[in-house]
Structures are given as structure tokens and as C-alpha cells.
Amino acid sequence: MKELRAKSKGLRAKSQGQLIIHHKLADELDQRRLYRYAEQLRAAGLSLTNNIAEGSGSTHPQEFKQFLNIARRSLFEDASMLMVFETLGLFRSADIDGLLTDCDLLSRKITNFSKTL
């Protein structure tokens, strides 16, 4: 059990890093008065980190897997928003491409961790 919690801490740390970056993007959106976009980006980022944290408190592996699944889906929501922001010209393609790569890597880590439960 301790090993699982330690691994989930690693996922939480990576997801929190992602959240910080997305929060900074949301701040930029706020400055452009795109408040709804900013709010949605923050909410999806928080859902990612909170579901990993909440799932790590589960006593049953299947329940933990479900929280990880929800976290992964929130990550896909983040990625979708980033692509929309790129299409709208709100952020540079080079910046978005790097963030999408980070989303993909974190998604793979969540999936692989889920398979160990």
C-alpha cells in the first residue's frame, strides 16, 4: 500500500506541475478578459490533481482506477482547450505543442500506473 501511495505522489506532483502552467495561462486569459476560458482551464486542471489525490485515498483498487480515469479525462479536456486556444491564436503554436506533449506524457503515466493497481 505504501508503494502505491508513493507512486501516486509522483503522479500528483506531475499533475500539480501541469496545473501551475495552466493556471499561468489562465491568468493571461483573464488579462484578455476571456474569463470563461480561464475558469474552465483552471477547473479542468484542478479536477486532474484532485481526482488523483482523492483516488489515492481509496481503499479499493477499482475505485482508485476510476478516479485515475476521471483525472485522465480531465487531462484530455485540458488538451482540447489548448488546441482551441491555439486555433483562436490566443497562444503560440510552439508553446501549445510543448504543453500537448506534456499532457500526452502525463496521460501515459496515469494509464500505466492504473494498470499496476
Non-local CB neighbours of 91 within 8 Å, separated by 6+ positions: 25, 28, 82, 85
Mean pLDDT, all residues of the chain: 91
pLDDT value at 6 more than 60? no
pLDDT digits (tens, 9 = 90+) for 60-96: 999 999 999 999 999 999 999 999 999 999 999 999 9
pLDDT at 59: 87
What is the number of domains present in the chain? 1
pLDDT at residue 57, as a whole number: 86
| DSSP single-letter state for residue 32 | T
Asked if pLDDT for residue 50 goes beyond 70, the answer is yes
Helical pair 35-56 and 2-31, crossing angle rounded to 10 deg: 170
Q: Which domain holds residue 63?
A: 2-115
Predicted local confidence at residue 90, as pLDDT: 96
pLDDT computed for residue 58 by the predictor: 86
C-alpha 104/C-alpha 110 separation (Å) is: 10
Q: Averaged over 30-51, what is the pLDDT?
A: 95
Single-letter amino acid code for the residue at 5: R
Give every CB contact of residue 39 below 8 A, 6+ residues apart in sequence.
26
Instruction: Please tell me the predicted confidence (pLDDT) of residue 2.
Output: 57
Buried b (16+ CB within 10 A) or exposed e, 46-81: ebbbbbbbebbebeeeeebbebbebbbbbbebbbeb
Distance (Å, whole) CA 55 – CA 63: 7
Query: What is the model's pLDDT at position 9?
Result: 72
CATH number at residue 19: 1.20.1440.60
